[in-house]
Amino acid sequence: DVKVTQSSRYLVKRTGEKVFLECVQDMDHENMFWYRQDPGLGLRLIYFSYDVKMKEKGDIPEGYSVSREKKERFSLILESASTNQTSMYLCASSFGRAETQYFGPGTRLLVL
């Protein structure tokens, strides 16, 4: 079974803090993705990576950055958290670019 884990299920941070969200997959998948999920908006792609040290912007990259130093790990960074970044963050991975994406359990982030 594919396993995608996220470092925290719930996080509470203050405005202006730097926030790290970690994602790890154990299936040797090439591709990893970060989404945010907001009610009524579905899932929106923030950043993705097709290889180690490679990253590409998704649909809503502003205010975020990512890091992929190892194949199994993909980190999402909020350089200076803002209240409008309060959301559910979902990490996903897939073997090939056209392959099915498998999701982690999500991190619910509250920025005060």
| Contact set with other proteins (CB under 8 A) | 4, 9, 40-45, 56, 59, 90, 97-98, 100-106, 108
Q: At residue 64, what are phi and psi to the nearest 5 degrees?
A: -130, 155
Closest separation in Å from C-beta 40 to other proteins: 6
User: Torsion over CA of 99, 5, 81 and 42, rounded to 10 degrees?
Assistant: 50
The rounded Cα 93 to chain-centroid distance in angstroms is 10
Nearer to other proteins, 8 or 17 (CB): 8
Closest separation in Å from C-beta 88 to other proteins: 9
- Joined together, the tokens standing for residue 64 give 């975020």
Nearer to other proteins, 81 or 92 (CB): 92
Nearer to other proteins, 56 or 79 (CB): 56
**C-beta of residue 106 within 8 angstroms of C-beta of residue 9:** yes
